[in-house]
Chains A and B, each alone.
Chain A
Amino acid sequence: MAFTVVPLGFAGSAKILRQTSVTSTGDLNIADGACTIYAIRVDSGTSTGVNILKAYNLDGVTNAINTSGTPTTPDMILPTQGSTGGSLSTSVALSGRTYVFKGGSTFFTSALSVFAFGALGTSTAAVGATTQYIVDIA
């Protein structure tokens, strides 16, 4: 499923980007070029344990993103928590995580491509049965 773009209308190009099934296959260049990120919500729904979203300042086409072999180093790593299971000792009841970038992150000057994985670290394990989405206001 491709990202859904919801223009907000009140501030130039401001919009929400939502994808309900980000996977290890990845979504490339979701903002169609450079963007400013104000917030990202990553929700792995009823999945078990920790999932992780990796973001790249690459479009994945002219500059390939490798997730296996010698993986491309991600620019941003955002963990999230499913609503069941997991070994986290605190906050475990909270599903999903919201990352707020005060003033906006202008780091993604080329493109924003995102991939979701089912484990922390360098694992490229696919996410489980999840409902994951990212919210991007640019």
Chain B
Amino acid sequence: MTMTIYNSAIATPTNAFVIRDTNAGLSTTTRNNVFPPGGACTLWEISVDNSQNAATSAATAQTVYIKIYDATTSTSTSSPTIQFPFAGGVSQTVQIVEGWPLASGCSFAVATAGGVSSGNNPTNPVTVTLALTA
């Protein structure tokens, strides 16, 4: 499957974007520098939909980790700045109330292992939505 990233610009405040990747994790590479203007940005909200990796009669539930990197380029073994786990079947939003500044840029990966372990791609697509501002 090919990577599918949509971004939506929000008029106010300037340079506010919602980034949506409906096929996260099904790639051996990270999503690099996803803030549309590029470079530094502030992360406010992360939504991860891992509902397609729920337990079924044929498969066990699959936990995924979203790993956020303060970098314009990264690999799946880079050390994440922010990381959250999501159990199989879970769809959840995490809000960072004060925002977190990513001084270099915003890159991310979704994998079956956290930290500097590259893990594997999830079996089924995971949808990631990020809210970013300049």
Contact = CB atoms under 8 A, between A and B. Distances in A.
B79 interface: yes
Chain A residues touching B, range: 20 to 34
Contacts of A122: 79, 115-116
18 contacts: A71-B115, A76-B84, A77-B80, A77-B82, A77-B83, A78-B82, A89-B101, A89-B103, A90-B42, A90-B99, A90-B101, A91-B98, A91-B99, A92-B101, A97-B96, A101-B93, A103-B93, A120-B79
Interface in B69-101: 70, 79-87, 90, 92-101
A88 to B, nearest CB: 5
Given A91-B101, A97-B100, A79 B40 contact: no
Nearest to B78: A121
Contact of A100 (B94, B99, B116): B94
B28 interface: no
Contacts of A77: 80-83, 114-115
B101 A102 contact: no
Contacts of B84: 76, 105
Given A87-B103, A89-B103, A90-B42, A97 B97 contact: yes
A98 B85 contact: no
Interface string B43-78: 000000000000000000001010000100000000
Pick the most buried of A77, A78, A96, A98: most chain B CB atoms within 10 A of its CB. A77
Contacts of A73: 113-117
Nearest to B117: A73
Contact of B94 (A75, A99, A121): A99
Interface SS of A by simple majority: loop
Given A75-B85, A97-B98, A105 B92 contact: yes
A106 interface: yes
Contacts of B115: 71, 73-74, 77, 122
A79 B93 contact: no
A121 B116 CA distance: 9
A120 B85 contact: no
Nearest to B84: A76
Interface string B102-120: 0100000000011111000
Contacts of A99: 94-97
